[in-house]
């Protein structure tokens, strides 16, 4: 039996908890790239009720919450996108929000390339 889609209210609970764990520099950058949560579709998983909550956008990268595989773990993912609203290739594994925001900062600082 499929789990029901994650409600926006529940997502805000997850997101606010994740934001509270950000270090000051990371939190300042997050304020620049975060978006109001909105449903984006991913070809890998389909669309409709299997769309995902996008929470941040930077360039051609989107940070989204994988609610299908993440009901018991922290499930933020950094992916490419080519059309707004369409999640492209999954670039990173599911992990904490701070990991992905810090990865983007390190990339900007020239300390690392995007990794998959």
Write down the pTM of the prediction.
Answer: 0.86
Cβ–Cβ contacts within 10 Å for residue 73, how many? 10
Exposed, middle or buried, 71 (CB in 10 Å: 0-12/13-18/19+)?
A: exposed
- More confident call, 47 vs 22: 22
Q: Is residue 3 part of a domain?
A: no
Confidence of residue 94 (pLDDT cuts 50, 70, 90): confident
Q: Which domain range does residue 61 map to?
A: 18-108
Q: Is residue 33 part of a domain?
A: yes
Q: What is the pLDDT of residues 59-90, one digit of tens each?
A: 999 999 987 765 555 589 999 999 999 998 76
Going by their DSSP bridges, the two strands 34-42 and 86-90 should be labelled as parallel
Q: Is residue 6 part of a domain?
A: no
Average pLDDT score over the chain: 85
């Amino acid at each position: 039996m499929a789990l029901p889609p994650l409600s926006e209210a529940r997502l805000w609970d997850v997101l606010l908890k994740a934001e509270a764990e950000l270090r000051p520099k990371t939190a300042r950058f997050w304020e620049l790239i975060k978006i109001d949560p909105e449903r984006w579709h991913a070809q890998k998983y389909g669309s409709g009720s299997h769309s995902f909550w996008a929470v941040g956008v930077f360039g051609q990268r989107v940070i989204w919450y994988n609610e299908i595989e993440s009901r018991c773990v922290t499930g933020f993912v950094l992916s490419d996108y080519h059309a707004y609203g369409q999640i492209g290739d999954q670039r990173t594994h599911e992990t904490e929000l701070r990991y992905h925001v810090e990865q983007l900062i390190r990339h900007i600082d020239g300390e690392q390339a995007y990794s998959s």
